[in-house]
Structure 1
Amino acid sequence: MIIGYTRISTPSQNDQLQRDALEAAGAERIFSDVGTGVSFQRPGLAMALSQLRKSDELVVWKLDRLSRNLRGIIEVVDDLGRRGIGFRSLTENLSADSASSKLLFTIVAALAQAERDVLVERVNAGLDAARRRGVRLGRPNALTPDKEKMAAALLREGSMSVRAIAAQVGVSPPTIYRAFPGGKAAIQVSGRDA
């Protein structure tokens, strides 16, 4: 049996290109995952691997669909080999059924990992450059200066719970706790009652 596996990074993407290629390659069943990142759990891949039996074959559209790093790719392919299961990557035209194919497979997988590492380096360099220019990265502060003043006044007044103050100001209770870790005492000590 030929089992296919697809992976897309976000729900807004579409895996139809991968599915079409896998069906053309003879995949009888196709398992899918949506997500990305090194620590991302892949239940679709786990299900595909559990369905494979000796003499079956796992087919992917491209090597990087199987795993986001070289070690993950090699671990999956080695496990398949130990179980007597074939593996094929359609885009790179690779299979893990001979010594020369395994060598080429390892080289291509290493290049894919290097390409990902270079991308991560570029992103990090861009983020560092933005920080040096004073760009504030991440989500904007939910607690604007005006909202902080209102929350401080309500906390000082002491007649409302933190939850009620958060609702009044339009933020979550943890945001209030982070802004005023000591409650009313912190407002008076820090002079935040302006």
Structure 2
Amino acid sequence: MKVVGYVRLSKGSANGHSLDGQRESIQQWAKANGHDLVTVVAEVASAKTPHKLAGRRLAIAAIKAGMAEGLVVRDLDRVTRSIIDGADLLEDAKLNGWRLLGAVDGLDTGDPEQEFSTNIKIAVAQEERRKIARRTRDGLATARRNGQRLGKPKQIDPDLEARIVRLARKGSSGYKIAQRLTAEGVPTPQGKTTWSPSVVRDVIARNTKVAS
């Protein structure tokens, strides 16, 4: 049977199976089962927005065009993590005569005995996605409460950074420099009016490291 492989990694994800790892699992499965792996479509996108999975649409379109008879993924959660989206995907496969196959979890929508277990797997995948989202939100909230700065910091103007370094070399502390910049109305990198001593100290420490 000719099949198209599909591998997906969530944006910004450091967990889960890598694209190469998923691809290798699919290749080994196809070889072991005597299937012809026509191509493997890869994309980096979140399954929480199925309509944005352009790679998945492309893979399924290729199958419907007659390039293959099935779509193979490493595990079901690589292709969908939503009960509603999963139901639509399974219905599309049934109506258009193509099969969704799992290289590791043994998924095969061509097997009517698997219909119930497949729906259970989709529900579990959706619940796991919800738990991951909750843990991420909780982690960010904890980081904010602990005073951690999140995201990529905006750059300080080079001339202003040089001025901070000059003041520090003349003996001014990070606290005094922050007070001075605030009093002068110099905007922070985020456009605020009050300078944090920790931001000034970071500038001083960074330039001290460079100088040394």
1:64-83 matches, within 5 Å, as 64-83=77-96
Identity across matched positions, percent: 22
Distance 2:26 2:157 in 1: 47
Residue in structure 1 matched with residue 160 of structure 2 by the alignment:
147
* Distance in structure 2 (CA, Å) of the matches to 1:17 and 1:90: 10
Q: 1:20 aligns with which of 7, 15, 27?
A: 27
Say if 2:56 is the partner of 1:49. Answer: no
Specify which of 59, 64, 73 is matched with residue 60 of structure 1: 73
Q: Against the structure 1 CA distance between its residues 61 and 4, is the aligned structure 2 distance closer, same or farther, given a 3 Å change threshold?
A: farther
Judging changes above 3 Å, is the alpha-carbon distance between structure 1 residues 19 and 88 closer, same or farther for their aligned structure 2 residues? Answer: closer
Give 1:163-182 correspondences, 5 Å limit: 179=191
Establish whether residue 34 from structure 1 lines up as the match of residue 43 from structure 2: yes
* CA drift at 1:6: 2.5
1:69-109 Cα distance to aligned partner (Å, 9 max, x none) = 33333322211111122222122112123443111001011
Q: Secondary structure at the match of 1:137?
A: coil
Aligned residue pairs: how many?
Answer: 159
**1:104 corresponds to 2:111:** no
Asked if 2 retains the 8 angstrom alpha-carbon contact of 1:31 and 1:45, the reply is no
Q: Are 1:58 and 1:88, in contact at CA under 8 Å, matched by a contact in 2? A: yes
State the match for 1:2 in structure 2: 2
Aligned-partner Cα distance in 1 for 2:194–2:104 = 63
Which digits, 9 at most, give the CA deviation of each residue in 1:25-59, with x for residues without a partner? 41331231220213373333222212224892222
TM-score (ref. length: structure 2): 0.60
Unaligned runs of 5+ in 2: 13-17, 164-186, 196-212
After superposition, the CA RMSD in angstroms is 3.6
Q: Distance in 1 between matches of 2:194 and 2:142?
A: 34
Tell me the amino acid that sits aligned with residue 87 of structure 1: L
Distance, in Å, in 2 between the alignment partners of 1:191 and 1:131 is: 18
Gaps of 5+ in 1: 151-174, 181-189
- SS at 1:124 equivalent: helix
Structure 2 partner of 1:89: 102
Q: Which amino acid aligns with 2:27?
A: D
What is the CA–CA distance in structure 1 between the aligned matches of 2:3 and 2:149, rounded to whole Å? 46
Q: 1:120 aligns with which of 129, 133, 137?
A: 133
